A and B are shown apart, each in its own frame.
Chain A
Amino acid sequence: MTELLSYVLPGVPYGCVYALMAAGLVLTYRASGVFNLAFGAQAYVSALLFSVVVQEGAGTWWAFVLSVVVAGPVMGLLLDGVVFRYTRGAPPLVRLVPALGLMIAIPSVAQMLAGTSTRVPASFVLRPNQVYFHLAGSAVSGEEIGTTLVAFASVAALAALLRSRRLGLRMRAVVESPRMAELHGVRSDAVGSLAWSISSLFAALAGVLLAPIYAQLNASNFTALLVAAIAAAAVGGLESLPLTLVGGIAIGVAQQVIGGYLPSGTILSSGLRPAFPFLVLAVLLVGRRSLRHDGRLDDPLAGCDPPMASLRPAPRMAEVALGAKAFTVALGAAVVAIAVAVVPGNWEFTFTQAAVLSIVMLSITLLTGLAGQISLGQAVFAGAGAFTAGQLAAHFGLPVLAGVLAGGLVAGMLGAIVALPTLSLGGISVGLLTLSFALLADNVLFLYSWSGNGATGLSVPRPKLGGLSFAGTGAFFGLSLVILGIVSGAVVLVRGGTVGRQLAAIRGSETGAASIGIDVARLRIVAFTLSAVIAGVGGALYASLEQSVSPNDFNYQFSLVYVVVVAAVGVYSVAGAIEAALAYTVLLQLVGSLPGRYSSLVALVFGLVALGYVRHPEGVVTYAQSWVLDRAEQLARFLQRDRASGAEAG
């Protein structure tokens, strides 16, 4: 009993911080329908700011005021005003991608601003290390008491605020339909801003409270915090604050108890503790009805918005369509020719990476673009492909090309398995479930010697085919282009065929699709499987290109990055996937050639991409295409009219 208590008690403050974050998540979700995945990043920024100010010599309370009371709400207002105000009532992908982009961008930018020197987190509640009293034989430190008290008080205050008729009622009205609320005289934007500033205050508070637990401030700790908070919010059904608090504490305590009782030293015990929140989240997503779908009613006044831009710009005039096609082919050929002939040696590798990455990106085109399913776990499928090829080559001497195929098959099977629990889910819930799957793979699945072999990783040789060797990067580039061509062709065929049309129907409306006789569940499994096969092939090829891979090459961050990049460039076309991969690898290579302190530029680009995406959810490439095609058509019409009037005159 005493032993159990000695595990339970230290878990409570952790759980309280989870609950604080979760309460903030619930608030923004309730008020704007956005699942703010940038929340962990916001907590990180506040913790960083707090440490910096303390280390600069300011008092703890000043640091607290600046980093929590000021910076928290200001961040919230900025995020709302610049990004999320414009995503209300938008489709799930459009609400998710900016949050993902910011989740990646904010920590790096903050790090760049704070300087690279190691920041040791400071604590502000009571005297952190002083033991105030003993409870059932366990020492209770000031920090633990303080954290728990602050969390309880804050959540209670928020609950009271939401109970109040003025704010609570308005918030519920605004989340259902901002426009309808405005017709009732409610300032929807102001209500939204208020909710964002309060919830961001909570994120900041959670960050500053949690920071002292870690030896060093690290953005990835805050992602784990975010997922634990999401799980706690899920316990509360994204609605009830008391249940959220209970959920947060339960998760915090359970983590400590697991850590205490499982035999130490095994992958399961060291992995299960961090992975526990992801498991909870996955179980809750599948089990709780209220979480399965976005639970949002359609805004009856959505018709006030201008119609969304076309996802696949199609020129109306035959001449323009032909010209556009010719131009695309010529451009592609030119890029390949330049890559082969002109490009210096170190760029050859970059272009090969781009070609291989394009294959992984195409898996998102198929799943998200065609089928409308959001997966935040594509890197897991790529990893499964890579490790299959590596293991088969190492243990059975299987040729790498056969290993690439086998990798695709294994990834496909994994995809089908992952698809099963997502079948009853919709929208962002699918994304969250696949994200928890990705985190589970990072923490447990890929660490075994039979899979990713932990930090050591695997070595994968370059392929050979009969007398042909692809050991040189140039030859490998050719091989990648051939495989990319095959996969692109497959995606185009799928899109144009029956399955593609059925997927398009599902993307539009699952109910509608079912009503015309489409087996939605079967098709969703097919989409997940095909997409995972493509990702697996890409991953295996990537492993062979790099010649050695470890789970770190396929961690959850890549899953998020891929989705953001593809969505921002254009998720509905093959060209979009290839251009996304090209832009991403070239950007990495360019920034890599700069001095180290510019490494945050990649993140900055991500932030800008997220901002741009809000304005053009159809993707940058698609937007540019439509723009060029519109101009081309105008020109063509003008020329025709000119010719016609010329003929009349003559």
Chain B
Amino acid sequence: MSSAPLLELSGVDLSYGPYRALFGVSFTVSARAAVALVGSNGSGKTSVARVVSGLVRARAGSIRFDGRDVTRWPAWRIARAGLVHVPEGRSVLGSLTVEENLLLGLEGLAGRHGGAGALERAYSMFPRLSDRRRQLAGTLSGGEQRMLALGRAVAVPEQLLVVDELSLGLSPTVVDEIFSGLREILASGTSLLVIEQHVERVLALAERVVVLAHGRVAGEGPAGELAGVLSSLRPSPGRPEPPTSAAGGGLA
């Protein structure tokens, strides 16, 4: 691969009306690589995803995708250039059927691609979707909705997939299914930018980690090396709480 990164943010500032969300965020995602974006609630992870996909416009700084400056591009143009953003929470169009959701993505992103083969790819990765192709997407369970959202990226392999809190509110077995899907997508050559609460899982998937805190990049490095930075930001969910010295002090 060439040395130029697939996605490059440099000095990105973002605000919602009077509220600043991002302060000079810079990092890169290389081609065929997976980057994890972690940080506590309110640290700006979702804002990064939104600014990358063009849902909100950066106030300053620049975003380059696939060698082009996309900072001022509208979302649909960025999507057609090969960047799929699966937003947090409800990430499908509920008033469309499963198949229509997939078709919408296909037609918009790649009118040139044959539809049938693309649909089959999505259905073969998530067979449950195939059973429900005529069902309204809004009536799917949370896990099935995330599968559908991922299925879009599978149907037409794109260059970069940005996923925001895919595992939120899902049962562990479904999360397994979703993560194996992500692994497959990565193996097929699509880069990933993963925002995730399950830090262990995402560290197993991604080779690099970017840590956000208060809208700024607090640290960045290979996945293995960042455990220290992470534990300083918040206790890992898997580990027991440290001895209750603080609580005890409060009671005393």
A binding-site residues for B, Cβ under 8 Å: 165-166, 169-170, 172-173, 175-177, 179-189, 297, 300-301, 303-307
The answer to whether B76 and A187 touch across the interface, beta carbons within 8 angstroms, is yes
Q: Is the interface of B mostly helix, strand, loop or mixed?
A: mixed
The answer to whether B17 and A169 touch across the interface, beta carbons within 8 angstroms, is no
Instruction: Return chain A residues, CB-CB under 8 Å to B90.
Output: 300
B53-81 contact mask (Cβ, 8 Å, vs A): 1 or 0? 11110000000000000000011100110
Instruction: Return chain B residues, CB-CB under 8 Å to A300.
Output: 87, 89-91
The answer to whether A304 and B95 touch across the interface, beta carbons within 8 angstroms, is no
Q: What CA separation (Å) do A301 and B91 show in the bound complex?
A: 9
Instruction: Return chain B residues, CB-CB under 8 Å to A177.
Output: 93
Min CB distance, B97 to chain A, in Å? 10
Residue of B nearest to A179 (CB): B55
Residue of A nearest to B95 (CB): A176
B165 at the interface (CB under 8 A from A): no
The answer to whether A166 and B55 touch across the interface, beta carbons within 8 angstroms, is no
The answer to whether B94 and A297 touch across the interface, beta carbons within 8 angstroms, is yes
Instruction: Return chain B residues, CB-CB under 8 Å to A184.
Output: 79, 93, 104-105, 108-109, 152
Q: Which of under 10, 10 to 19, 20 to 34, or 35 or more describes the interface residues of B?
A: 35 or more
Q: What CA separation (Å) do A180 and B54 show in the bound complex?
A: 11
9 closest residue pairs by CB, A with B: A185-B108, A306-B17, A182-B75, A300-B90, A185-B79, A182-B76, A306-B16, A185-B109, A185-B80
The answer to whether A169 and B80 touch across the interface, beta carbons within 8 angstroms, is no
The answer to whether A305 and B16 touch across the interface, beta carbons within 8 angstroms, is yes
B85 at the interface (CB under 8 A from A): yes
B91-117 contact mask (Cβ, 8 Å, vs A): 1 or 0? 111111000100111011100000000
Q: What CA separation (Å) do A305 and B92 show in the bound complex?
A: 19
A173: contacting residue among B19, B54, B96, CB under 8 A: B96
Residue of B nearest to A188 (CB): B76
Residue contacts A-B, CB under 8 angstroms, 6 given: A172-B100, A177-B93, A181-B76, A183-B84, A184-B108, A304-B55
Q: What CA separation (Å) do A165 and B79 show in the bound complex?
A: 20
Min CB distance, A177 to chain B, in Å? 7
Q: Given A182-B55, A183-B55, A183-B87, A176 and B93 touching (CB < 8 A)?
A: yes
The answer to whether B16 and A307 touch across the interface, beta carbons within 8 angstroms, is yes
Residue of A nearest to B83 (CB): A183
Residue of A nearest to B105 (CB): A184
B45 at the interface (CB under 8 A from A): no
Instruction: Return chain B residues, CB-CB under 8 Å to A182.
Output: 54-55, 74-76, 79
Q: Given A182-B75, A307-B16, A165 and B107 touching (CB < 8 A)?
A: yes
Q: Given A179-B55, A301-B87, A173 and B93 touching (CB < 8 A)?
A: yes
Instruction: Return chain A residues, CB-CB under 8 Å to B107.
Output: 165-166, 169, 185
Give residues of chain B (197-217) contacting chain A, Cβ–Cβ below 8 Å: none
B11 at the interface (CB under 8 A from A): no
Min CB distance, B178 to chain A, in Å? 18
Min CB distance, B20 to chain A, in Å? 11
If A297-B95, A306-B15 are given as contacts, then 10 extra A-B residue pairs at C-beta distance below 8 Å, sorted by A number, are A172-B95, A180-B92, A182-B76, A184-B93, A184-B109, A186-B108, A187-B76, A300-B87, A304-B56, A306-B18
Min CB distance, A290 to chain B, in Å? 13
Min CB distance, B54 to chain A, in Å? 8
Instruction: Return chain A residues, CB-CB under 8 Å to B104.
Output: 169-170, 173, 181, 184, 186
Min CB distance, B229 to chain A, in Å? 27
Instruction: Return chain B residues, CB-CB under 8 Å to A169.
Output: 96, 100, 103-104, 107
Q: What CA separation (Å) do A182 and B75 show in the bound complex?
A: 6
The answer to whether B108 and A180 touch across the interface, beta carbons within 8 angstroms, is no
Residue of B nearest to A182 (CB): B75
Q: What CA separation (Å) do A85 and B84 show in the bound complex?
A: 25
B138 at the interface (CB under 8 A from A): yes
Q: Which of B16, B84, B93, B95 has the most CB of A within 10 A?
A: B93
Give residues of chain B (105-132) contacting chain A, Cβ–Cβ below 8 Å: 105, 107-109
Min CB distance, A310 to chain B, in Å? 11
